[in-house]
Structure 1
Amino acid sequence: MARKNLIGISSSDQVPTTPTDVRPIAGFVPPKVRSAPIGGITRTLGNITQKVERAQDIEKQLAEGKLIVDLDPALVDASFISDRLGMDPTDLDDLVEQIREHGQQVPILVRPHPTIDGRYQVAYGHRRLVAVRQLGFKVKAVIRELSDDQLVVSQGQENNARTNLSYIERALFASRLEDRSFERDVIMAALNVDKAALSKMLSVVRQIPIELIEAIGAAPQIGRRRWMELAEKLPIAQAELKRILASLSADNSSDQRFQDAFDALTPARPIKDTPKSKSWEPEDGSVSVTVKASAKKAVVTYEAKDGPSFATYIAQRLDDLYEAFRKSEKTSTGV
């Protein structure tokens, strides 16, 4: 007789081995198994990671010039290449009022100063920088790593886009770049001009003394042709240059000073010798005589019915007439 299973478990019955195999107690849900521990350390590490990634992202965007930041204007220096012959006070006042009312709408472009830690150098936006300094505002800026070539190209192209530099200012900018040994390709890119136009710019600046250009100023209404015409009138003696410089009034606009300098370099035209005319005719009107005389020439015209015959009569008596003329001269002069 087979032995009975004393504990009542058949070979087909299995003891549950996992919580899911056990019928849960009413109202109790077993906790989920976690793959990793949580707690203060995990949260702290996560926060640190996020901050590092955020800092790296900000640093990357700053390097790429994608972020606009507020800078203390006192930490921002001008470009190492000047592109202006001073700032028009009226235009600057208008810009100050515009920023006062509406804020700085367009940021300036700067780079970290190449030789001074903690300072910056402007690529473009010099007028905006001066305006916010006057207002005591922070200056909105984009910071970008720029080589010298990249800076001057950015500076020149921004000025070209905003069309606020005169012809002679652009020509001076080109000359200063060449004096610093920048390649012609870089200068042409900065000014957006071809080789021929650049050569003309440099020629104008080389022919006109820099002190005369600075005394005239930006002259925004004076273009390439007029500056080339002025250059053709030079060189002149140093004494003459000093006389012209002294005659240019700071009270006049720069356009007027250009015209004054141009006129001073233009030789006075000789007064045209306009012949004086005198007419004579007898009472019967048979002859009409007109004399047109200038300093070196006289033309006598005989007209009317007896004009030709009267002219012949006079021609036949020229010796007697001339002798009478000489006697009258001696009488009048007493010689």
Structure 2
Amino acid sequence: MKGRDILKGMVNSAAPASAEQPHSPPAPHKPAGAVRAMNLSLGRLGEQAAAAKGLREAMAAGDKVVELDPSFIEIAFIQDRIPLDTDPAQEHLTNSIRDTGQQVPILVRPHPLQEGRYQAAYGHRRLRAAASLGLPVRAIVRKLTDEEVILAQGQENGPRVDLSFIERALFAHRMDTHGFDRDTIAKALSVDKPELSRLLQVAEGVASDIILAIGPAPKIGRPRWLAFAERLKVSGAGKRLGKELQSEEFNQADTNLRFERLWKAMAEPAEKKAKQTEAIRTKKGLLLASLEHGARGSKIAVNSPEFARFLSERMPALVSEFEQETAANS
């Protein structure tokens, strides 16, 4: 018997039949190429190991895995991830659950305010996948306090796909705003106090709407975000940022490129070189014209009508002299 079958047997033996709707057997997997098959196999191995660990812990705690209707489950009261319009990881998970079934149960608690409903502590991706597929979601139901919920969220994100720096910063800020003390927040994120201070420094220095507009930006680490928060303090940076946020190019870019676009947009514009003005006067000091030199060229402003007429009459000869001198110098 394969390891996957043994694992499924463990889950089925621990889970009573759902009273809400039966769990349909997973559709047979149809290989679509050697690469895809290998990736799916590796993904299954990881999920099976996580499932076995989760089941051992659940059984040790006396918990049972049940099947629930996703429509009766709300997301956690503090979100830890920044949603994306297009999420390849979510799509991959949904396909995996469609092909092989849900291997790892989610953790929920009875809703603190609404009887008969639940609130997810972790496993939001699996919850969304099950809902999109029209399947019941396998879950462990446990009575949890608010503090236990956020600690469970933190522990779940540790061994799995890590939150990006800005997701952890926003999660820390949301917990801080909710009233959790610094020790609890640090424990939930598995960070020390100095790192927690840096997370909060960024989340407090960059408005939430800007963070959400950028997205999780997994390739952007702590140094860049700290510098981003500092650059945002520069006078005029916010105005330049707002213009970029509304651009079509920004909205079409991926999350990492969005950060880069805002970073460049906030850069102070190059200082304009001061224009140099050269006065053209007679020997007696009478101003005839002004020759202005700027970054885009030079221009002459003539004050004397007589001098203007003089230049106009002699302009062909001046141009010819200029051409001869240029040719000679070449």
Query: How far did 1:230 drift?
Result: 0.7
Whole-angstrom CA distance in 2 between matches of 1:65 and 1:229: 48
Match of 1:227 among 225, 239, 245: 225
Query: How far did 1:242 drift?
Result: 1.9
Tell me the residue number matched to 2:156.
158
Tell me the residue number matched to 1:130.
128
Unmatched 5+ stretches in structure 2: 1-57, 274-293, 295-317, 319-330
Query: How far did 1:266 drift?
Result: 1.5
Query: How far did 1:197 drift?
Result: 0.2
8 A Cα contact 1:77 1:120, kept in partner: yes
RMSD between aligned alpha carbons? Answer: 2.5
Query: How far did 1:114 drift?
Result: 0.7
CA displacement, residues 66-125 of structure 1 (integer Å, 9 cap, x when unaligned): 211111111111000011210443221111110011100100000111111111110000
3-state SS, counterpart of residue 249 of structure 1: helix
Tell me the residue number matched to 1:243.
243
Counterparts in 2 of 1:65 and 1:269: CA distance versus 1, 3 Å: farther
Amino acid at match of 2:82: L
CA displacement, residues 266-318 of structure 1 (integer Å, 9 cap, x when unaligned): 1245699xxxxxxxxxxxxxxxxxxxxxx9xxxxxxxxxxxxxxxxxxxxxxx
Match of 2:116 among 115, 118, 130: 118
Tell me the residue number matched to 1:86.
83
Matches within 5 A, 1:186-205: 186-205=184-203
Tell me the residue number matched to 1:44.
none
Whole-angstrom CA distance in 1 between matches of 2:157 and 2:82: 14
Match of 1:185 among 183, 186, 209: 183
8 A Cα contact 1:65 1:143, kept in partner: no
Query: How far did 1:151 drift?
Result: 0.5
3-state SS, counterpart of residue 118 of structure 1: coil
Matches within 5 A, 1:38-49: none
CA displacement, residues 176-228 of structure 1 (integer Å, 9 cap, x when unaligned): 00001101111011000000000000000111122211111110111111101
8 A Cα contact 1:65 1:144, kept in partner: no
3-state SS, counterpart of residue 180 of structure 2: coil
Counterparts in 2 of 1:161 and 1:265: CA distance versus 1, 3 Å: same
Query: How far did 1:165 drift?
Result: 1.6
Tell me the residue number matched to 2:72.
75
Whole-angstrom CA distance in 2 between matches of 1:120 and 1:216: 31
Q: Does 1:255 align with 2:263?
A: no
3-state SS, counterpart of residue 162 of structure 1: coil
Tell me the residue number matched to 1:51.
none
Matches within 5 A, 1:47-58: none
8 A Cα contact 1:71 1:139, kept in partner: yes
Whole-angstrom CA distance in 2 between matches of 1:105 and 1:158: 15
Amino acid at match of 1:256: L
8 A Cα contact 1:178 1:184, kept in partner: yes
Match of 1:212 among 206, 210, 213: 210
8 A Cα contact 2:202 2:229, kept in partner: yes
3-state SS, counterpart of residue 239 of structure 2: helix
8 A Cα contact 1:63 1:144, kept in partner: no
Whole-angstrom CA distance in 1 between matches of 2:121 and 2:80: 11
Tell me the residue number matched to 1:277.
none
8 A Cα contact 1:64 1:145, kept in partner: no
Tell me the residue number matched to 1:287.
none
Query: How far did 1:160 drift?
Result: 2.2
Question: TM-score normalized by structure 2?
Answer: 0.61
Amino acid at match of 2:227: E
3-state SS, counterpart of residue 156 of structure 1: helix
Whole-angstrom CA distance in 1 between matches of 2:131 and 2:265: 40
Unmatched 5+ stretches in structure 1: 1-60, 273-294, 296-331
Whole-angstrom CA distance in 2 between matches of 1:115 and 1:63: 29
Tell me the residue number matched to 1:265.
266
CA displacement, residues 134-166 of structure 1 (integer Å, 9 cap, x when unaligned): 111110001111110000010112112213321
Aligned residues between the structures = 216
8 A Cα contact 2:228 2:263, kept in partner: yes
Question: TM-score normalized by structure 1?
Answer: 0.60
3-state SS, counterpart of residue 200 of structure 2: helix
Which one has a bigger Cα radius of gyration? Answer: 1
Whole-angstrom CA distance in 1 between matches of 2:216 and 2:209: 13
Query: How far did 1:241 drift?
Result: 3.5
